[in-house]
Structure 1
Amino acid sequence: MNLTKASPEFLDIVSCFYKRSTALEEAFCNGPFFKCNAEGMEIAYIFKYAFYKGDIDGKDPWSIRQTGVYQKYNFATKSSTWIFLHPAKQSAFQTRLEEMLTSSEECSRIRDHLFFLHNIFISTSFPHWRDFMAYYEARLLTQHKIIMGSSLNEPLRINHQTLNTVIFIENRFLTLRTVLHSVRKAFETIHKANDALCDADIFPLSEREGTRQLFDNYINQADEYTQNVSFLHTRAGRTAQLIADTLSFKNALTAQEQSRYMLSLTSSTVEDSTTVRTITIVTLIFLPSTFMATVLGMNGFFEMDPQNHNLVVSPQFWIFVVCAIPLTLLTVFCWWMRRKKQERPQDEKAISMV
């Protein structure tokens, strides 16, 4: 600050640069400032731009970075002091600037044109926003095609993760709306500085008109980007709502099918219960007499003594017991197996509905 004699407002620009572990203040930009007096002119702003990191381990390949720009022009010496702040050790603008400084012709252009470095910096960083929007629009369209091709009567190809992806894209567009507004304010500030210096006869009218037209074009381009991102943000929001509604409808349809199944199962249970109750009652009525008639009718095991007319049990009665018990167990086993076979399709249907 002492070396450059920058205004205290420049500290607001510097305060935007600190170590972050999350996307804190991703959309925040400190307002640009412009000051012009008898000694000179100062202009400073934060410029945010899209940076492509590459697809690394499936992470988001795009990030939003920022550069702080400060220019102080001294009317007496007709020289500018520039400060560029950026978080990375190397940037595309820095590489381009270093290449230009090796050329005497480019150095002359930087000295002669007061706002030339602004143009170099903006033309290097600003166009990346279009690629940024195109990338997320392509991802959004992919998710939109999936949801439009889904049917409630078939297994859905979308889930909660799909909804999270679309909401993430929606938030990206929401952030960009604020960022583009701050970018436009930076263009307007440079535009204002250009008019102020021309009114003070610092440089000729021809240069003023060229700079004005240049930044008018940048402002128009920023407006178009803002319109596009507004459309994409609305589209992402509607896609997210469509996914949420589809999942809700699918859950409602599944619940309806489960209710129908439970109603059918209850009706079947009631019918079976009625049938079993009827059979049980009939069996209770006829079983005692049938059992006694069957047992007493077995001449091989029971017979009447012709002398005293007493009932005589044969010593071979154990054969009846030995045959009856296994046969009873076999009958119960066959009934149990048949019941399990009938229950299996019902269980599979119930599981498929969950």
Structure 2
Amino acid sequence: MPVGVEDWTMRQMGVFHHHDPNDLENLWIFFHAGRDTPMQKEIEQYAALSQQGLRSDHAWLTLHSSAFTSCLHNWRSYVNRLGYDVDRHSDRSLGFILRNIDHFLTAGGDSNLTAIHNTRDLLLPTSYRLRVLLETLTKLGHLSSILGSQHTGADNGFRKLATCVAYHKDSVEGFVVGVEVLKEKVKDILNMTTLGLDFRMTNQMLDLNNRMVELNNRMLNANQQLLELGTKSFDDNATVKVVTILTLIYLPASLVSSIFGMNLFKFDDGTTEEFRISKQFWIYVVATIILAIITVSVYLWTHKAQVRRRNSHSVNGTSQDAEEDADT
């Protein structure tokens, strides 16, 4: 018997009835929770009337009807409340895809996994309780029909109770069907939620992987740029250039001096100690200039070829990175 408006609790009620067909003695024992309940008041009222000598079939109808009235009507409200909760979960279950996973799993409210599982946990025992109640009503109705057939009076309490039991039985059967439908809906909601979470987790993992690949490519590009910057800085250094040019000029001159030697030149005529440059000194100057031009030209051609190869390698590497990014 569910009790309450917002926070539902389960209270079980037991009815023990020892019936004497000969109307010699009837024993009723009621187990129920709470004080001054409607059920207790009806029992006390019936106890006061029973002193006037009521029939056994009247007691059968009155007390069982009181138990039905006190317990069964709450099931309709309880199942309706569970149906409302399930519909609310169904309406909000699609919103989690656009939310953060941690917020959906841990945030309070009715749209998280905890609330959905709680609703499912309430539906599972409800189905079994209603089936037990339905079986009890079936047996009570069958027994009432048997007892009613043994009494031929017009005002037959046993037959009236059988009719009352049939009405409540139809209602409980509807509750059982409704609970089974709600169980399937909750199952579908949980399946959809699980698939959605897996889909969102996969998307986030792919996004994280793409970011890692992009970061790795940026680091490779940065290293390549640093290497190129170091190479260009070395090539563009003014001191290095000056030393290189002077060396390229000095080496041909030194080579020419070694080849010709100072004995090949007459820097004086032998009659005076005054220093004079030989008239053939132009041969040394011309040969040095020619060799310097050849050496510098070879150096510049080699240097430009290296620069072209380096630039071509950089362009090819960038194209390959772009193709890899496109494939990714």
- Band of TM-score, shorter chain: 0.5 to 0.7
For residues 186 and 165 of structure 1, the distance between their equivalents in structure 2, rounded to whole angstroms, comes to 32
Matched, 1:221 2:194: no
Instruction: Indicate conservation of the 8 Å contact 1:140/1:169, yes or no.
Output: yes
Counterpart for residue 134 of structure 1: 80
Task: Work out which of the residue numbers 144, 151, 158 in structure 2 matches 1:194.
Answer: 144
Matches within 5 A, 1:218-297: 218-287=168-237, 289-290=239-240
Q: Deviations along 1:145-184, whole A, 9 cap, x unmatched? A: 22234554x5467335611211110121111111011001
For residues 11 and 49 of structure 2, the distance between their equivalents in structure 1, rounded to whole angstroms, comes to 29
Matches within 5 A, 1:45-194: 49-52=1-4, 55=6, 61-99=7-45, 101=47, 108=54, 112-152=58-98, 155=100, 158-159=104-105, 162-194=112-144
For residues 85 and 58 of structure 2, the distance between their equivalents in structure 1, rounded to whole angstroms, comes to 45
Q: Deviations along 1:42-78, whole A, 9 cap, x unmatched? A: xxxxxxx1111x55xxxxx011111111111223444
Pick the structure with more strand per residue: 1
Corresponding pairs, count: 237
Instruction: Indicate conservation of the 8 Å contact 1:146/1:158, yes or no.
Output: no
Instruction: Indicate conservation of the 8 Å contact 2:134/2:169, yes or no.
Output: yes
**Which ranges in structure 1 are unaligned for 5 or more consecutive residues?**
1-48, 56-60, 294-354
**Amino acid of the structure 1 residue aligned with 2:92:** I
For residues 106 and 193 of structure 1, the distance between their equivalents in structure 2, rounded to whole angstroms, comes to 27
Structure 1 residues 284 and 109 mapped into 2: Cα distance closer, same or farther (>3 Å)? farther
Secondary structure at 2:19 match in 1: strand
Normalised to the residue count of structure 2, the TM-score between the two structures is: 0.63
How far residue 218 of structure 1 moved from its aligned partner, in angstroms, is 1.4
Counterpart for residue 253 of structure 2: none
Counterpart for residue 314 of structure 2: none
For residues 52 and 62 of structure 2, the distance between their equivalents in structure 1, rounded to whole angstroms, comes to 10
**Amino acid of the structure 1 residue aligned with 2:3:** F
**Which ranges in structure 2 are unaligned for 5 or more consecutive residues?**
244-328
Counterpart for residue 160 of structure 2: 210
For residues 106 and 124 of structure 1, the distance between their equivalents in structure 2, rounded to whole angstroms, comes to 25
Structure with bigger gyration radius: 2
Structure 1 residues 232 and 132 mapped into 2: Cα distance closer, same or farther (>3 Å)? same
Coordinate RMSD, CA, aligned:
3.0
Secondary structure at 1:71 match in 2: strand
Instruction: Indicate conservation of the 8 Å contact 1:197/1:203, yes or no.
Output: no
For residues 252 and 106 of structure 1, the distance between their equivalents in structure 2, rounded to whole angstroms, comes to 77
Counterpart for residue 342 of structure 1: none
Secondary structure at 1:84 match in 2: strand
**Amino acid of the structure 2 residue aligned with 1:50:** P
